[in-house]
Structure 1
Amino acid sequence: MLLRMKFTQQRRVRLAQGLWLMSWMAVLCGAFIFTLGIYLKIELLRRAEVMDNTEIHVVPNILMMVGLASIGTNWVAGRVCQDSLDATRFPRWKVLLLAWFAVAALLCCLLVAVVVLSYALQGHLEESLKVGLRNGIRFYKDTDVPGRCFQKETIDRLQMEFRCCGNSNFKDWFEVQWVSNRYLDYTSKDVKDRIRSNVDGRYLLDGVPFSCCNPASPRPCLQYHLTDNSAHYNYEYQSEDLNLYPRGCRQALIDYYMGLMNSTGPVHLSYLWSFEINLRYLQTAVEGAMALEDPEGDSDGYLLEKGVKETFEEVKANVLNMLKFGQIDPTAASEDADTDNAKETPAS
């Protein structure tokens, strides 16, 4: 037996009570994971305007599925723990526990898949945000264009909420015209000069929108002429804190989403593994006491009835037998055909 332990009646009772409490805590954790999946899904849909694809949605979908399955399996585990000390009620769970362990193992695999996918899709998420934020900044000024009327509000709220500026940094705003033409005075010499100096005829500024300003800065925010040292008193472009958010919104959103996706997966995974191990001890200890026909006597609890290698070989043989079930044995089929031919051949 693998990792065999001796259990008295009092120790079995304490283990059952502790696992019952853990099962209901796990139900709450499952509800939290399900809620987290819904929240992440909503957040991704909210930021759809600054994202270019939806591949990352597979992560919240798995989280919601794992959360619901965790609620169901841990509720069942709580009932098992409650009935484990009743000799008349526990035997009905014996077959169901095998399915429970299989579902719990599947949940562990799905939680591992969530963690792996979140890292595997990080590149897709970054590229999606890169393209989406680039388009969002480019369409920032199009408040009169149908379909883009709320783009300015979306970008402004995003920069203020995540304390970020631009795609990679604040200099991204220097490369686009973010002031609408309806607010430009074309009779002004400065406006004409700026438009003529650009090949595409755009009004470019070395400035940023107000939403890039950091309200915690002690100095009034510098929005315009950010590369001109003479435009501001006691100001040096290379060394001065520009009173803007230094981090780009792409990195801010990546950190936010990765934090959400990886916040509970490893914790819930370790909790589920410890719960499975202790429930296995409780199951084998109770079954051992029932086999000895002494519910109040001592019994042995273990994880595996045989060694790891022997258990693996047994499971492998069972799986192969299940795969062979229903298949036609070619040797048996040829023997049956020979028998039928012999019966049909007339005697000489």
Structure 2
Amino acid sequence: MGTHDDKTATCGTICIKYLLFLFNFLFWLAGGAVMAVGIWTLVEKSDYISLLSSSTYAASAYILIVAGGIVMVTGVLGCCATFKEKRRLLRVYFVLLLCIFLLEVVAGVLAYIYYQKLNDELKEHLQLTLVEKYKQPSEEHVTRAVDKLQQEFKCCGSSSYSDWTESRWVRSADAKGRAVPDSCCKTPSAGCGLRKHPSNIYNVEGGCITKLENFIQEHLKIISAVGIGIACVQIVGMVVTCCLYRDLKAEPY
């Protein structure tokens, strides 16, 4: 009777081991995906980050990169712990899973909070950025971000092209009589910003605020979805780890 129970326990342990191995392989791949989303946010969209007054958006991306790196290392550790059947390694693995889970919860909470206050921040900050920083010394990154924003999203000004009338640059001699930057033009060329007729420049309802807000909100949804997805997978992993830990014999000290 005891032998039958031992065989049943052994078969159960083997099944759990292979299940945990499969989980770790998928977990490792997921870590790469999480890291990729974070890096893409910072590299490809870093110009837009300079237009935001708070660092919450960037912080969410950094958390994803750190979490993704830890996930990949943890996946390898989990495979080693599983096949070597070391309870101590399983304990370390479980603690790392828990830490990653908490990191992703923090990233998700930050993304949600930022999602709620994004419109107010853009209304307060984007107009000020256009008026005070565009084409000013040592603000080249802001100038590049504004030009990229207006061209990519086919918009002009914070709320409308008339916002540029308050700009320090437009009022200066450097503008050479331009009413808006050349990046507002539907077909950009040197000096095209001299004419602000709707046939020449972008004039969309809501201006660049609406366009940028929609873009960031969509990206925050991606960050949240990735974080929640990995977190759900981790819960399964922690449960399976506990099952394997329970089935393994205690190691001699």
Alignment TM-score, normalising by the size of structure 2: 0.70
Answer yes or no: is 1:46 the counterpart of 2:47.
yes
Deviation, 1:257, is: 4.1
From the superposition, tell whether residues 271 and 149 of structure 1 become closer, same or farther in structure 2 (CA, over 3 Å). Answer: closer
Using the TM superposition, give the Cα deviation of residue 224 of structure 1 relative to its aligned residue in structure 2, in angstroms: 3.8
* 2-structure distance, mates of 1:64, 1:50: 22
Q: Compute the displacement of 1:115 (Å).
A: 0.7
Note closer, same or farther for the CA distance 1:283–1:79 as it changes in structure 2 (3 Å cut).
Answer: same
Structure possessing the higher radius of gyration over alpha carbons:
1
Query: What is the CA–CA distance in structure 2 between the aligned matches of 1:183 and 1:119, rounded to whole Å?
Result: 44
1:121 counterpart letter in structure 2 = Y
Counterpart in the other structure of 1:66: 67
Paired residue for 2:148?
157
Q: Which protein has the bigger helix share?
A: 2
- Alpha carbons 1:166, 1:248 under 8 Å: kept: yes
In structure 2, the partner of 1:341 is none
How has the CA–CA distance of structure 1 residues 8 and 151 changed in structure 2, closer, same or farther, with 3 Å as cutoff? closer
CA drift of 1:59 comes to 2.1
Alignment of 1:320-339 (within 5 A): none
Listed as ranges, the gaps of 5+ residues in structure 1 are 1-5, 84-89, 185-202, 215-222, 227-231, 233-241, 292-348
Distance 2:99 2:39 in 1: 21
Whole-angstrom distance in 2 between the partners of 1:274 and 1:212: 53
Q: Percent identity?
A: 19
Change (3 A) 1:82 1:162: farther
Unaligned runs of 5+ residues in structure 2 are: 1-6, 188-194
For residue 138 of structure 2, what is the aligned residue in structure 1?
147
| Structure 2 match to 1:306 | none
Equivalent of 2:232, from 246, 267, 270?
270
The worse-fitting range, judged by mean Cα deviation, of 147-156 and 70-79 is 147-156
For residue 75 of structure 1, what is the aligned residue in structure 2? 76
Corresponding residue for residue 249 of structure 1: 208
Could you tell me how far 1:111 is from its partner in structure 2? 1.2
Normalised TM-score (structure 1) = 0.53
Structure 2 CA distance for aligned equivalents of residues 62 and 7 of structure 1: 43
Amino acid at match of 1:170: S
Q: Whole-Å Cα distance in 2 between the matches of residues 42 and 12 of structure 1?
A: 44
Amino acid in the other structure paired with 1:72: V
- Count of aligned pairs: 231
Q: Secondary structure at the match of 1:276?
A: helix
Q: In the alignment, which residue of structure 2 is the partner of 1:35?
A: 36
Which whole-Å CA distance do the structure 1 matches of 2:139 and 2:77 have between them? 50
Q: Distance in 1 between matches of 2:90 and 2:82?
A: 11
How far has the Cα of 1:260 moved from its partner?
4.3
Report the AA paired with residue 225 of structure 2. S
Deviation at 1:245, TM superposition (A): 4.4
CA contact (8 A) 1:213 1:243 kept: yes
RMSD, aligned α-carbons:
3.8
Q: Deviations over 1:66-122 (max 9, x none)?
A: 222222222111112223xxxxxx2xx223323332332222122111111111233
